[in-house]
Amino acid sequence: MHAFATLVTNADYALGALTLARSLRRTGTEAPLLVLAKPDVAGLEALEAAGAEVVPLAPLLLSDGFRARHGRAAQHRTAPFTKGEKPAFHDPLDNFQKLRLWELERFRRIVFLDADTVVVRAIDKLFGYPEFSAAPNLHATLADMHRLNSGVFVAEPAKATFQAMLEALDRPDVFWRRTDQTFLETWFPDWHGLPYTYNCLQYVYCDLPELWHWPAIKVVHYQYEKPWDPAHPKRDRLAPLIDLWWRLHDGQPPPETLPAGV
């Protein structure tokens, strides 16, 4: 059995996941959407009403030292973000909760999607890809093609894998510079590269316009700034993508054309 999955750790990501759920259903997929969620998050009822299955998250058993190194202040100080602005609700420690996917052995294969993604064309084809498949972190330069982005990936759950991951994750003085992404690159050094169109980061739209080919794009990923932010700091550059997100949030189809920005 196959499933899609996402991660919700606060109310903002619950709103994002709701739009993701609506966009997925528009593609006609019959695969369920699992929402790995902290139990006290607001907005989970709306996700269940949209047909998603909420899977309660238990905290990962991580050492105090690990939490100190990867907390928001320490993470941003040691490895500051230079390409965009992370919202205030973002907690780097939450990223590691993605590893709990490997506990869900009732599914043979899971396609994970970040809660700040939307699906604009059918992606069930990804269930035919092996573990571990992910798209590159293609942001503003082709030099990023060698780096993994964990906003979309294919996993094959196994509790033994999960336990082994935890042992490798939390070691004395280890620092995962890009949190789960650096860890997954290390755990799966021969990761299979998906086409970037299955995880098209929003800055491709304006920074790599030659690669923004709307008929081929399957998933749009709102890395850094979020489209639901009423004070969006880059609305002047990303307004058509913000409009796309709200269109899908409101249950409308994606536009037939969406040319690159400048």
Tell me what pLDDT residue 87 has: 57
CA 18/CA 48 separation, integer angstroms: 9
Give percent above pLDDT 90 in the chain: 78
Indicate if the pLDDT at residue 160 is higher than 60.
Answer: yes
Cβ burial, residue 121 (10 Å; 0-12/13-18/19+)? middle
Which domains are assigned to the chain?
Answer: 2-249 (3.90.550.10)
How far lies 42's CA from each of 39, 46, 48, 108, in Å? Answer: 9, 9, 12, 30
Alpha carbon distance 82, 202 (integer Å): 15
Lowest-confidence region among 63-77, 132-146, 224-238? 63-77
- Cα–Cα distance measured from residue 7 to residue 140, given in angstroms and rounded to the nearest whole number: 26
Q: Which residues of 49-67 are buried (b: 16+ CB within 10 A; e: fewer)?
A: ebebebbebeebeeeeebe
Task: Report residue 80's pLDDT band, with 50, 70 and 90 as the boundaries.
Answer: low
The torsion angles phi and psi of 150, rounded to 5 degrees, stand at -95, 20
Angstrom distance (rounded) from CA 205 to CA 262: 8
In this structure, of 72-81, 201-210, 244-253, the range with the lowest mean pLDDT score is 72-81
Sole residue written with tokens 């058509």: 240
Considering only CA atoms, which of 87, 93, 89 is closest in space to residue 69?
93
Element (H, E) at 44: helix 44-49
Question: What is the average pLDDT score of the chain?
Answer: 92
pLDDT at 78 over 60: no
Res. 89 pLDDT band, cuts 50 70 90:
low
Q: Is the pTM of this model over 0.75?
A: yes
Q: What is the pLDDT of residues 112-147, one digit of tens each?
A: 999 999 999 999 999 999 999 999 999 878 888 888
pLDDT computed for residue 227 by the predictor: 97
